[in-house]
Amino acid sequence: MSDSPIRPVRKAVFPVAGLGTRFLPATKVMPKEMLPLNDRPLIQHAVEEAREAGIEEFIFVTSDHKDMLAKHFDFQPELVETLKSRGKTDMLQKVQDSDMPAGALFLTHQAQPLGLGHAVWCARELVGDEPFAVILPDDVFLAEKSCLAQMVEAYNELGGNLMAVTDVSKEDTARYGIVDIKEDKGKTVSINTLVEKPGPDKAPSQTAIMGRYILQPEIFEHLSAFETGAGGEIQLTDSMVKLIESQPFHGFRYDGQRYDCGTRLGFIESNLAFGLSDSEISGTLEKILRNLLNPSGALNEAAE
C-alpha cells in the first residue's frame, strides 16, 4: 500500500437517509438535512465543504421522502428569472452557488436504517474502485479552511485511510468512536484499533472520531459481511477495524471548531456560532443575545 501511488479523492458519500426523529415535528415532511444553519441548509454546508476539498462527484445515500435534497441543488429557472428581473443580484448569486453541475450528483437508496456502515455500503457501485470521502452532515465545522480540505492535503502526503479526530472529555467517550493510538505525532496519530462508544473506564484514549473520513475502497469487502455491532447496527467503525489489519489508518486533528447539529441544543449552538461569525448579522445578534440574557439591565439595547 505504501509503495503504491496515492490515488486522488474525487468522490464523497453523504449518508442522508435518517428520519431525523430528534427534530420532530419539524422533520415530519422536511428532511433534517434541509434545516437551515444560518442562511443555508445543513446539506449545502456539507456539499460546499466537499467542493472546497476538490470533490467532483457527490453521492447521496437517501431514503423515501427525501426528494427535496436533490431538488435543492437543481437549477430553478423561474426563481432565477424572477431574481434577475427584480435586480436582486446578491440573492441570485446565492441561488446559483447552490446549483450542482450536471452529472455531479448521484443518488442511491437505503431501504432500511441498518446503520452508518450499511449506508456507506449502499454507495459501493457508485464509488467503484477508488478512495472516497464520507461526510456526515450533522457534524459542521467553523474553520478558515474546510475540515475535509485539510484532510485531503494530509491524505495526499500520507495515503491510506484518514479520519477527523479531536480530544473529548472522559465522560463523553461513550458518545463516539474512540481511537487506540499507536503513535501520536501531534497533527496526526497512527492507529492500533478503534472502539465504538466505550464507557470512560474502557476507552483506550480520549481521542474521538468526528464525522469526516477518507477511505480506501477495500472497506466495502468488510462492510459486505453485514456484521452488526453497537446498537445492533452495521457499524462503519467495525469494518475500519478489520481494514486496519492490512492498511494504514491515521487520525487527523483538524483546525477549527466542530459543532453537532444532530441534537436540538447542538443545532441551536451551531446557529449561534455561525451567526456570530457572519459579518452581516453578528453585531445585531450580539445585541439580541445580550437583551435575552439581561432584558432589564443596563446593556439592554433595541435590535436594529
**What CATH code is carried by the domain that includes residue 40?**
3.90.550.10
What is the model's pLDDT at position 101?
84
Residue 62 belongs to some domain of the structure: yes
Residue 54 belongs to some domain of the structure: yes
Count of domains observed in the chain: 1
Q: What is the mean pLDDT of the chain?
A: 90
Other beta carbons less than 10 A from residue 114's beta carbon: 17
What is the rounded CA–CA span in Å between residue 265 and residue 269?
Answer: 6
Residue 301 belongs to some domain of the structure: no
Residue 304 belongs to some domain of the structure: no
- Whether 193 shows a pLDDT value over 60: the answer reads yes
Residue 3 belongs to some domain of the structure: no
Question: Any idea what DSSP says for residue 35?
Answer: S
What is the model's pLDDT at position 303?
46
Higher-scoring residue by pLDDT: 230, 118: 118
Residue 22 belongs to some domain of the structure: yes
What is the model's pLDDT at position 1?
45
Residue 33 belongs to some domain of the structure: yes
Confidence of residue 155 (pLDDT cuts 50, 70, 90): very high
Q: Please, which residues have CB within 8 angstroms of residue 99's CB and are 6 or more apart in sequence?
A: 73, 74, 75
What is the model's pLDDT at position 301?
52
Looking at 97-101, 108-112, 148-152, 252-256, which range is the least confident one? 97-101
Task: Give the closest residue to 206 by CA, choosing from 166, 236, 253, 240.
Answer: 166
Residue 31 belongs to some domain of the structure: yes
Q: By residue range, what is the domain housing residue 60? A: 11-262
What is the rounded CA–CA span in Å between residue 126 and residue 124?
Answer: 6
What is the model's pLDDT at position 92?
85
